[in-house]
Amino acid sequence: MRRPIPYVVVALAAACATTRAPAPASAQGASPAPSPPSAALRGAPETTSVMRPQFPSTYERHPYPPVLITNATIMTASGQEIPHGSILLREGRIVAVGATVPAPRDAISVDGTGRYVTPGIIDPHSHLGVYAAPGTDAEADGNELTNPVTAEVWAEHSFWPQDPQIALAIAGGVTTIEALPGSGNLIGGRSAILKLIPARTVEAMKFPGAHYGLKMACGENPKRVYGSKGQFPSTRMGNMSGYRSAFIQAEAYRRTWDKWNADHKGEPPERNLRLESLAEVLRGNMYVQMHCYRADEMAEMLDLGREFGFHIRAFHHAVEAYKIADLLVQAGTAAVVWADWYGFKEEAMDGIPQNAALLEHAGARVTLHSDDPGGIQHLNQEAAKAMYDGRQAGIPVTRDQALRWLTANPAWVLGLDSVVGTLEPGKMADVVVWSGDPFSVYSRALQVYNDGWLVYDRNDPAHQPRSDFELGQEPLPGSDR
């Protein structure tokens, strides 16, 4: 339940524009560029759409005073757990972390006695905003089920920033998400990497400079969706044929555009949004995020990537990943898994609660995810379950490793590990203050800082964002998230 606090809408001015190169941009934001003069004024041919910014990020850091959190247990996710430690945030960055940190005169002081501090949680597989609450057909915008290959669609064009589930995820300590299309298609479209803040537009949430992901799916879902309609594909061999045909077309499209970009001879090639996304995968500029459950199919997808020269960044769900941990290590592909969610369909039957621990023990890169608007609210508990399930089976998992499943490792999956995911000087100040040990079922996020801004405070109604959709709903007195 939530207090009746109005949703904080932040007016964000345009800050970061997407790359303005002749080749299609694959990053969500880059350095801003001035608007070009009209063709008539500059005496040059009119530019085409591929040369202009494509839905650039307008994210801006929200101004906030420096913050010094003292006497807390600092869990850095970089190998250290500092008891009675301090951390200083200034202008959106972590400035200092240690046993003692000098207190600037202008800093807000937060007493962390009995509290724990971690990096902000990153969920690399979310459908917030594209399957928004209250969950009617009107908000079901995650699957474009009109063709098995829809690489041309972008999740951000379905994302609703007023989804009331966003504020609940923030209250669970989540600071960044990858909003993905669904898994009904072989290739479902581009993902959106978002800072989880209250905003009016999805562009104001887009993580500047983040690489787009391309959602792909193997196994039951695509063949069920199209086979039930008497369409292709209806089998797993049909699935594989569909991927290969799409990337064969993308290879030719890429060669045509790369040649024109090199010499600019003649008219530019015809633009094709579907092949444009696939060509960016082939160039290595867009990260493949692959929904896949069975071990044998994940191995086949790795072969697909080798055939066409692209890397699969992560397998999502991956309930049988423990069977091919060595292959994932060799390929440098992460496993984005649940703690103990399996058995709900045939291809999910062979999951085990020790999946994450076994993968960690084998040296694979392990990440937890929600894929669920309820699960995203307690990902800290999911990490605790996976850690203890491993320990009970005799598989050693450290607290730091388990924390990295929610922070540093998903940051790598999104290509943001140099910016977020650990509490180190110079990193973005995405920080959560917990009431107690985050691996305890009794602990809750007390404060959530996103880029140094206090976006949520459990004890301050002024920092408890709510969606316009919720206005007029009166929670019970004294109730809490």
Q: Which domain holds residue 405?
A: 121-420
- For residue 452, being part of any structural domain is answered with no
Task: Report pLDDT digits (tens) over 55-79.
Answer: 999 999 999 999 999 999 999 999 9
- For residue 143, being part of any structural domain is answered with yes
**pLDDT computed for residue 35 by the predictor:** 41
**pLDDT computed for residue 107 by the predictor:** 97
Considering its fold, how many domains does the chain have in total?
A: 1
- For residue 266, being part of any structural domain is answered with yes
Instruction: Give me the chain's average pLDDT, please.
Output: 91
**pLDDT computed for residue 479 by the predictor:** 58
CATH number at residue 339: 3.20.20.140
**pLDDT computed for residue 202 by the predictor:** 98
In the predicted model, residues of the chain with pLDDT beneath 70 are 1-26, 29-46, 474-481
- For residue 16, being part of any structural domain is answered with no
**pLDDT computed for residue 470 by the predictor:** 82
Closest to 195 (Cα-Cα) out of 208, 186, 185, 182: 208
Task: Report pLDDT digits (tens) over 383-398.
Answer: 999 999 999 999 999 9
Asked whether the whole model's pTM tops 0.85, one would answer yes
**pLDDT computed for residue 48 by the predictor:** 85
- For residue 31, being part of any structural domain is answered with no
- For residue 128, being part of any structural domain is answered with yes
Q: How far apart are CA 140 and CA 336, in angstroms?
A: 24
Per the listing, tokens 């089976």 go with: 393
- For residue 205, being part of any structural domain is answered with yes
- For residue 441, being part of any structural domain is answered with no
